[in-house]
Amino acid sequence: MKKTLITTGIIIAIALAGLFIFNRMTSKDETAGMFAEVSRGKFEISILSTGELVSENFVEIKGPAFGQGNDVRSTSVRITDLIPEGTEVKKGDYVAQLDKTELDNELKNIRERITSMDQDLEMLILDTAVQMNSIRDQITNQIHVVEEAELRFRNSKYESPMTLRDAEIDFEQSKRVLDQLKRSYTLREAQTRVNVSNRKMWMGRMKRRMADYENVLASFTITAPADGMIFYYRNRFGTKRKAGQMINVVDRTVATIPDLTSMLSKVFISEVEISKVKPEQLVSITVDAFPAKSYNGKVKTIANIGEKLPNSDSKVFEVLIKIDGSDLNLRPSMTTNNKIMINSYDDVSFIPIECVHTGADSIPVVYTQSGIRQSVKLGEANDKFVIIDEGLEPGTSIYIEIPENAEKFKSSK
């Protein structure tokens, strides 16, 4: 009986000890998330932003130039076929085909007009030749009439004065008719020369226009201007140009051949943070496609004017980051993660931002685990931590949130 009591006592003692240890561990776990320590060491201020890769240099593959050195007028044309993005091409290889229907119909109309104009010109020349030949015959006949009238006039000088006068009138009248015929011939000849010249001029213009259309239509089959990899062109809204879409006189680019040896990371920084970004700032870059690799770069350019991205009300500024070196595995449009280094401190104290609280007097304070309401002087901050210039020593344990009994904490002097 006594042995049983001893055994039971030992079991109860062990259970109580276990319960005590469990309570201590549970209490420790519950309070672990309530406190943070003042850290000391290197502190970085950076801006994190996702972006995409773009090539610094590229060759544009463009459609025909309407109205630039030619007489072809068209506002837009459809892409009927486009080779797959990522295709490796050599200079002169086929890239795309544009819809020729509209211009082919216009070219057909031009050719028909040229044929009609040519026929009209031939008819004008033939009709004029007939008319001119008739006038020449009239002039020849009138010359004979004048000669006869002159002969009668000369022979009439031995006749009565009235007969002489009649002969003289006939002679003068026949000469006037001859002069009129000659002037008519000269005038008709000049008119014909002008008409023929004008028609030839218009026909020449139409033939040049026909040649322009033929040359432009020949360029509707688009080929690669250089060796490289095909990437679809993106417009200013970020939409890729594909088969079935339209190109116009203002934006004729169908695709691009980027220079993969020189790449940029294009990011958009909010107007709140853009003032912190400066040219030549160092940037650490990772690419989603190769998570194990990292790249270094520098801020190359910063847009002067902000813009609104689709589905966003806030303004952002485009920032281009030049990636150091080259890696031919990098491709345009790959997603990048960019860490722009704004500032860096080698040996400073810092705490999580959420540990800092502000009272009615607007003085920042923290609550230490030792029961002190400590006022602090803050330095620069990043997205998670803030530098403590004065007020706390490294290793000090502080509350993350305002404690329930905060009014019992002693204020620091």
pLDDT at 239: 83
At 129 the three-state DSSP class reads helix
pLDDT at 25: 43
Q: pLDDT band for position 24 (50/70/90)? A: very low
pLDDT at 413: 62
pLDDT by residue (tens digit) across 38-50? 999 999 999 999 9
pLDDT at 309: 77
HEC profile of 101-124: HHHHHHHHHHHHHHHHHHHHHHHH
pLDDT at 264: 96
| Mean predicted confidence (pLDDT) in 210-214 | 89
pLDDT by residue (tens digit) across 239-261? 888 999 988 878 889 999 999 99
Residue of higher predicted confidence among 287 and 103: 287
**pLDDT beyond 90 at 340:** yes
| Mean predicted confidence (pLDDT) in 116-123 | 92
DSSP codes of every residue in 244-300: T-EEESS--EEEEEE-TTSEEEEEEEETTTGGG--TT-EEEEEETTEEEEEEEEEEE
Residue of higher predicted confidence among 238 and 149: 149
Distance CA 241, CA 186 (A): 64
- Judged by average pLDDT, the poorest of 5-9, 57-61, 347-351 is 5-9
| Mean predicted confidence (pLDDT) in 57-68 | 85
pLDDT at 327: 92
CB 135 within 8 A of CB 184: yes
At 73 the three-state DSSP class reads coil
Q: Is the pTM of this model over 0.85?
A: no
Mean pLDDT across the chain, nearest whole number? Answer: 87
| Mean predicted confidence (pLDDT) in 196-217 | 90
Nearest to 215 by CA among 68, 70, 102, 63: 70
CB 96 within 8 A of CB 83: yes
**pLDDT beyond 50 at 17:** no
pLDDT at 12: 52
CB 410 within 8 A of CB 371: yes
**pLDDT beyond 50 at 313:** yes
Q: Are strands 88-89 and 221-223 parallel, antiparallel or unpaired?
A: unpaired
CB 286 within 8 A of CB 336: yes
Domains and CATH numbers, the chain: 34-56+259-413 (2.40.30.170), 58-99+220-248 (2.40.50.100), 103-217 (1.10.287)
**pLDDT beyond 60 at 282:** yes
Q: List the structure tokens of 208.
A: 């040049």
pLDDT by residue (tens digit) across 153-176? 888 887 888 888 888 888 899 899
Distance CA 88, CA 93 (A): 10
Q: pLDDT band for position 359 (50/70/90)? A: confident
Q: pLDDT band for position 28 (50/70/90)? A: very low
| Mean predicted confidence (pLDDT) in 330-354 | 93
Residue of higher predicted confidence among 202 and 249: 202
Q: Computed over its alpha carbons, how large is the radius of gyration of the chain?
A: 48
CB 322 within 8 A of CB 56: yes
Share of the chain above pLDDT 90, in %: 59
In whole angstroms, how far apart are CA 258 and each of 56, 148, 233, 245, 324?
A: 8, 92, 10, 22, 17
